[in-house]
Amino acid sequence: MSSIKVGICQMAVQDDKQDNLDRAEDMLRQAKQAGCSLAVLPEMFNCPYTAELFPQYAEEYSGETTKMLSAAASKYAMTVVGGSIPERDAAGRIYNTSFVFNSQGKLLARHRKAHLFDVDIAGGTVFQESKTLTAGDKTTVVSTPDLTFGVGVCYDIRFSQFARCMTLQGAKLLIYPAAFGWTTGPAHWELLLRSRAVDNQVFLIGAAPAKNPNAEYKAYGHSMLIDPWGRILAAADEHETVITAEMDLSLIDKVRAELPILKHWREDIYTS
């Protein structure tokens, strides 16, 4: 299939976990109603984006959140990229994990955020994910009958080699559930999304939470779908919404034939 409709669920994440799950389910329903065959939720969609709170909301697989995601994927016959949640493993470590379900509700993959967001920006965001989280250690590329796509979580988008690696594994779409804030969001969000799409000549989704004025960490919103030429096909502002757009996958081959940067790639000289 060369055309696929995707939905990005920009939900306003609250403190109440059950409310978040209900809201996410409803937004997946809206994406299905709009004709989407793939839908994406934002980073940490079942809990506030606060490092100290991740242990309180963490779940082992399979838990209440992943059960909801699996049930929604099969009920709506859609591929669901379940944003991310705090995932606890058997040893008690917690990861920032994106669970991906196919349209039968079967778990296809889990991506554990590989680059933890530990930053201290003067006059702006201070965040230490490593206080409570452990980093994942691999890239994640998933195939459905219609599409091969890669999944990264938020800060992973700042690492161009990470996106290139997923592209070389065949990803035609890169999906980043994310939660940029109001320090780096206005400065870097659109720039990074469009750059990763253009330098890999792929479609790219950035799925963000809506801004919740009551939250301690205020998300920037502005979820987007970008095409391989760097054009914005759909964009939200900071409010809660489901945005949708059609991806014509044949555009990838066209752009790569006209401007063959992947063929011109000189790995032989990129040594440090």
Ligand X SMILES: NC(=O)CC(=O)C(=O)O
158 binds ligand X (CB under 6 A): yes
Cβ proximity to ligand X, 154 vs 171, nearer residue: 154
Q: How far is the CB of 158 from ligand X (least distance, A)?
A: 5
Question: What count of other Cβ atoms lies within 10 Å of the Cβ of residue 5?
Answer: 16
As to burial, measured by CB atoms within 10 angstroms (0-12 exposed, 13-18 middle, 19+ buried), residue 190 is: middle
* Binding region for ligand X (CB under 6 A) out of 3-11, 85-93, 178-186, 208-216: 178-186
117 binds ligand X (CB under 6 A): yes
Please say if 113 is a catalytic residue. yes
Q: How far is the CB of 272 from ligand X (least distance, A)?
A: 23
Total of residues contacting ligand X (CB under 6 A): 9
As to burial, measured by CB atoms within 10 angstroms (0-12 exposed, 13-18 middle, 19+ buried), residue 144 is: middle
95 binds ligand X (CB under 6 A): no
207 binds ligand X (CB under 6 A): no
Which one of residues 184, 201, 212, 241 is an interface residue with ligand X (CB under 6 A)?
184
SS (H, E, C) 180-242: CECCHHHHHHHHHHHHHHHHHCCEEEEECCCCCCCCCCCECCCCEEECCCCCEEEECCCCCEE
DSSP state of 20: H
Please say if 43 is a catalytic residue. yes
Residues catalogued as catalytic: 43, 113, 154
Residues that bind ligand X (CB under 6 A): 117, 154-155, 158, 179-181, 184, 188
